[in-house]
């Protein structure tokens, strides 16, 4: 994580790596104590004024958790107030795509399982293979074939919708991914 400390409109400390639990060191070797775990060190310029910080404000603005993650800290010192704001950073595109695709597959699976559970899919597939190898079917076997085909005809649109949504995700950029609503997408069959 990197931070920038500003005083008014002036940058006091440029971007630098920090870790949690570091302390605020002021010019001249002074250390501000009694602050609740400020996650940075201050190494300001020699002409910077000393700070008597009496109040720390922490802000975490809302961000899209699907496409963003917490970024660095923006720290504004004004008088006796130190305002720490958590920034947001875009997640890597491939990470977002993988997560969205995984969600699409889970939605498709739930919709298919609502129609036919796995054990019935296995039995239906095995029986379809037996009937296909047999060749000519009796009226009872034809009815069994037709019933199985009717079930697969209900599953096929779910798989087709899943393929279309996954293709859209594969071609989308981050702003487009923010607009994708997976659960209520109009392409899912009702």
Residue pLDDT, tens place only, 19-28:
434 444 444 4
Given this model, what pLDDT does residue 52 score?
58
User: Looking at residues 84-97, what average pLDDT do you find?
Assistant: 87
Given this model, what pLDDT does residue 70 score?
80
pLDDT above 50 (res 14): no
CA distance 75 to 95: 29
Q: How many CB atoms within 10 Å of residue 33?
A: 7
Given this model, what pLDDT does residue 118 score?
95
Is pTM beyond 0.85? Reply is no
Nearest to 67 by CA among 87, 81, 88: 88
CA distances (Å), 10 to each of 44, 76, 102, 167, in order? 11, 10, 45, 47
Kindly indicate the confidence band of residue 30, based on its pLDDT and cuts at 50, 70 and 90: very low
CA distance 37 to 88: 21
User: Looking at residues 82-86, what average pLDDT do you find?
Assistant: 79
Given this model, what pLDDT does residue 175 score?
87
pLDDT above 60 (res 119): yes
Kindly indicate the confidence band of residue 51, based on its pLDDT and cuts at 50, 70 and 90: low
Given this model, what pLDDT does residue 53 score?
60
pLDDT above 50 (res 163): yes
Residues in the chain: 190
CA distance 163 to 105: 9
Mean pLDDT estimate for the chain: 77
């Amino acid at each position: 994580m990197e931070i920038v400390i500003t005083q008014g409109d002036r940058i006091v400390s440029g971007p630098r790596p920090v870790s949690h639990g570091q302390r605020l060191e002021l010019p001249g070797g002074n250390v501000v104590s009694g602050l609740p775990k400020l996650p940075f060190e201050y190494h300001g310029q020699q002409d910077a004024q000393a700070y008597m910080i009496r109040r720390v404000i922490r802000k975490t603005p809302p961000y899209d958790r699907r496409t963003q993650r917490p970024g660095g800290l923006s720290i504004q010192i004004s008088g006796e107030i130190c305002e720490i704001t958590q920034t947001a950073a875009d997640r890597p595109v491939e990470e977002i795509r993988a997560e969205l695709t995984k969600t699409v597959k889970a939605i498709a699976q739930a919709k298919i399982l609502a129609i036919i559970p796995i054990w019935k899919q296995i039995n239906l597939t095995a029986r379809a293979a037996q009937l296909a190898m047999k060749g000519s079917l009796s009226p009872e076997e034809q009815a069994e074939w037709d019933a199985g085909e009717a079930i697969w005809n209900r599953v096929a649109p779910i798989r087709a919708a899943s393929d279309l949504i996954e293709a859209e995700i594969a071609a989308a950029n981050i702003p487009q991914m923010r607009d994708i609503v997976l659960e209520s997408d109009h392409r899912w069959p009702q």
